[in-house]
Structure 1
Amino acid sequence: MEKDLKNSIVKEPDITYGNYTYADYLSWDMEEMVELIKGRVFKKAAAAPKRIHQWLAGNLHTELNLFLKGKKCQAYIAPFDVRLPVKSKRDDKIYTVVQPDICVVCDPVKLDDRGCIGAPDLVVEVLSPGNKQLELQHKFEVYESSGIKEYWIVDPESQTLLVYTLKDGKYQASRLMTYGDKVKSSVLKGFELDLGEFFADIT
């Protein structure tokens, strides 16, 4: 089964259809980074993310860590497995395992040695040319249905940030924010990100 999965991913670089679970995911020994969304295997880019992607993700993770010092919430940066069960927490019954660029978890019960099981309170995805469909469509749907309270999308190319806030089970989008804007979180009360400073050193 593992060999067949590898071959199918090579032939179809964006998506492989299947009914895979977290138990399968744990058994794979693959060079490519993959995520599971509703039992389907999504291959992440084989090459490392671009420098600006890593710069922005690292800087935001640092800002969050500084803000969260001494608080119960914790911020994690990819690679970090987030399992999103629907009915059962058994490994063979979990069909979605994602690796957000950054996630913030405020309930310590959801944390274990393998990552997070259950919805983080906030996730951040930094767009790359090869992952825009994955982040904007597939992950949006699963983050919303899983009950993740806040979802940030950072676009390095346009130097913008969009915040989705969960209300009555559906995401409501902020306006598109950029230079001159200060982004505030409804989940992390008091946290503020100055986008002028955040995007200032992109070259």
Structure 2
Amino acid sequence: MTSFLPQLVTFEQFIEWYPSNGVRYELHKGVIVEMPPPTGEHENVVGFLAAQITFQFLHKELPFRIPKTAFVKIQSNNSTYSPEILVLNHDNLVNEPLWSKQSTVMSAASIPLVVEVISTNWRDDYYDKFRDYEEMGIPEYWMVDYAALGGKRFTGNPKQQTVIICQLVDGDYQMSVFRGNDLIVSPLFPQLKLTAQQIFDSAL
């Protein structure tokens, strides 16, 4: 993860600066950082999960969409994230003043689910984004650690491939851990018939 520009920048400066070079960047507490380039395995997992989730909301006829590229602006600490999978409630985008021109959302009412597929910058997902998504009030947050990169407190000892699904309950995330043949339990999509191992196998 590489930082850019020595001084802290605002969201507006970040958006104006953002280059069209195919590289993903995020704003972390005013600091622009480059996201690690994804591996083929990482993209396989993202594509598999995006398809599974899309099937669920299309089947339920929910007004959800998954944008190719969009930002989540954390107003409390000058951070802006670009999740691997961002499920948006299209009906609420009319209430998002930054959506039309900057593909950015700021309200939890627009975000029923966010998924981060863990890579080498795993501390961002397990610590910073966990805290910020929780504080923002996003109802459901998945951390998919198909390569068991995270710390042992999250992936076990020895480390194991792990999916952690966080459900917002009374303002706090309650975490459920899934490994191996555990059936994934999603509060948003209770009909989802998917094991943790199926997610891990999709990387290959």
- Identify whether the pair has TM-score above 0.5, normalized to the shorter chain: yes
**Partner Cα distance (1:96, 1:74) in 2:** 23
CA deviations over 1:86-119 (Å, ceiling 9, x no partner): 5xxxxxxx82221011011235223633324123
Corresponding residue of 1:179: 180
Corresponding residue of 2:151: none
Q: Is the 1:61–1:76 contact (alpha carbons within 8 Å) kept by the matching residues of 2? A: no
Does 1:122 pair with 2:113? yes
Q: Write out aligned runs for 1:19-168 (5 A).
A: 19-30=8-19, 31=21, 32-45=23-36, 48-69=37-58, 70-77=61-68, 79-86=69-76, 95-106=78-89, 108-110=91-93, 112-113=99-100, 114-117=102-105, 118-119=107-108, 120-129=111-120, 131-158=121-148, 159-168=161-170
Scaled by the length of structure 1, what TM-score is found?
Answer: 0.76
Unaligned runs of 5+ in 1: 1-11, 87-93
SS at match of 1:197: helix
Corresponding residue of 1:9: none
**Partner Cα distance (2:142, 2:44) in 1:** 16
SS at match of 2:167: strand
Change in 2 beyond 3 A, CA 1:184/1:16 = farther
Aligned residues with identical type, % of pairs: 25
Q: Which amino acid aligns with 2:132?
A: V
Unaligned runs of 5+ in 2: 149-160
Q: Which amino acid aligns with 1:115?
A: S
Shift of 1:64: 0.9
Q: Which amino acid aligns with 1:44?
A: M
**Partner Cα distance (2:5, 2:182) in 1:** 39
Equivalent pairs, count: 180
Q: Is the 1:64–1:75 contact (alpha carbons within 8 Å) kept by the matching residues of 2? A: no
Scaled by the length of structure 2, what TM-score is found?
Answer: 0.76
Shift of 1:144: 1.1
Q: Which amino acid aligns with 1:146?
A: M
**Partner Cα distance (2:6, 2:130) in 1:** 19
CA deviations over 1:47-94 (Å, ceiling 9, x no partner): x301111000010001111111132122335x32222335xxxxxxx8
